[in-house]
Amino acid sequence: MIRKPNNHRPVKALRILITTTVASVTVAKANLVISEIDLVANKVEIVNTGTTSVNMTGYQWCNRWKGSPAYVGLATAQIVTAQSTATTLTLPAGGILTFQLSSSFITALQGELGLYTTNNFGSSTAMVDYVTWGASGASRSGVAVSKGIWGSNTFVAVTSDDITAGRSIQLGLGLAGNISTDYSLAAPTLGINQITPPPVVTSGSASSITTNTANIAGTVNAMGASTTVTIQYGETLAYGSSTAATPSPVTGSTNTAVSAMLSGLVAGTTYNYRVVGTSANGTTLGANQTFTTAVPTIFDLRILAVSRSGNTLTVDFLGPPNTLPATWQVKGSTTLTSFPFNKTAASTITETPAASGTYRALIDVTGEPARYFVRIELP
């Protein structure tokens, strides 16, 4: 409902010559910003750029273009749910509300729109945000200038071609909206947060894959907000493991290459992974990708000699050069069917000389029967 205040009385017109000095003022706006005005569909979009919810019950719209006052209170019935992230006047942080107003309230070629906490429309304290378009001379622009959220004698330029094409007034990415040049005319994007959007994340490919490691790549566009980047990975889509990417955090509004080296993986196993970016504006999950770790190369160990002296079994054999002693596993059995007994802790394996691929295993077989089998292997 549009109403006029009861105390509106005609006043005598005064012609005054005023010389003004235009200064650039940058003052942080309140959490609520008018992010888009659809001049054809008569819709207004608000984004909560703050970190807490805002209850707009009792808030007012004001369009007092050239002294013709029009005021209307915000109402739940005005909310366009298909283009909003909330259904009540309580707007969560990062949320969007799109309001359907009337053509008599949102004037096409020239107009202004102020958002107020109360109906004290001449108060800069009550004013939350403000936009004027089409021409200078808007009645409430002085209140916005006084608050420091609009430039003196400035407005968003709108042409008849913009109206014909159905363009809307849109606040630019990451801009405060304190000056008219923060806004531009473009095809409507109502319901899409283009002011404080979450990061854009792409999961890249896996490379340098070994039996237990893999390098994961990706890209992150922080969209103007500092973004923490991680790599989630695991054998299922539940992932279960996460590691920080490099670099992290990421800033700016262009694609940044990120990566992380995963270690401690299981050989011959398929892993799911994705890149995740988190900023104050939300969390974006990159698409799931997969890779499979390499299967270990199987070597047939050539036995050179076997002997037993007391409780020590000596086995000389050939294997892959430079294999670390802790890598070998020794298993024992009384049959050749299976090798259930772990003799690794009771064994010492050395490479002599170094890097030669010639090894000697000394295996403690105390208490074992005279007929006993051992198997030396790499996992």
Q: Measuring CA to CA, how many Å separate 97 from each of 33, 48, 75, 192?
A: 11, 9, 11, 10
- For residue 3, what pLDDT is reported? 43
Question: Model confidence over 348-379: pLDDT tens digits?
Answer: 999 999 889 999 999 999 999 988 899 998 87
- For residue 16, what pLDDT is reported? 28
**Residue 150 burial by Cβ neighbours in a 10 Å radius (0-12, 13-18, 19+):** buried
- For residue 133, what pLDDT is reported? 93
The percent of residues above 70 in pLDDT, for the chain, comes to 90
CB atoms under 10 Å from CB of 374, counted, come to 19
Question: Model confidence over 202-238: pLDDT tens digits?
Answer: 999 999 999 899 999 999 998 878 999 999 999 999 9
* Average pLDDT of the chain, as a whole number: 87
Residues 238-274 as b or e (16 or more Cβ within 10 Å = b): ebeeeeebeebbbeeeeebebbbebeebeeeeebbbb
Torsion of CA 10, 15, 18, 22, to 10 degrees: 50
- For residue 1, what pLDDT is reported? 40
- For residue 274, what pLDDT is reported? 98
pLDDT value at 265 more than 50: yes
The mean pLDDT value for 64-90 works out to: 89
- For residue 155, what pLDDT is reported? 93
pLDDT value at 46 more than 70: yes
Of 239 and 16, the one with more pLDDT = 239
Question: Model confidence over 290-315: pLDDT tens digits?
Answer: 999 998 766 678 889 999 999 999 99
Between CA 128 and CA 339 the distance in angstroms is: 77
pLDDT value at 260 more than 80: yes
- For residue 192, what pLDDT is reported? 85
Q: Is the dihedral of CA 190, 195, 198, 201 positive or negative?
A: positive
The percent of residues above 90 in pLDDT, for the chain, comes to 62
- For residue 28, what pLDDT is reported? 38
* Predicted structure pTM score: 0.53
| pLDDT-based confidence at residue 15 (cuts at 50, 70, 90) | very low
Question: Model confidence over 171-190: pLDDT tens digits?
Answer: 988 788 888 999 999 999 99
- For residue 197, what pLDDT is reported? 77
The mean pLDDT value for 113-139 works out to: 92
**Pair 359, 316: CB distance under 8 Å:** yes
The class that CATH gives domain 200-292 is mainly beta
The mean pLDDT value for 24-41 works out to: 71
| pLDDT-based confidence at residue 73 (cuts at 50, 70, 90) | very high
Of 343 and 105, the one with more pLDDT = 343
- For residue 299, what pLDDT is reported? 63
Pick from 344, 269, 347, 349: which is nearest to 301 by CA?
349
The mean pLDDT value for 138-163 works out to: 92
pLDDT value at 27 more than 50: no
pLDDT value at 143 more than 90: yes
The mean pLDDT value for 110-138 works out to: 92
Q: How far is CA 188 from the centre of its chain?
A: 24
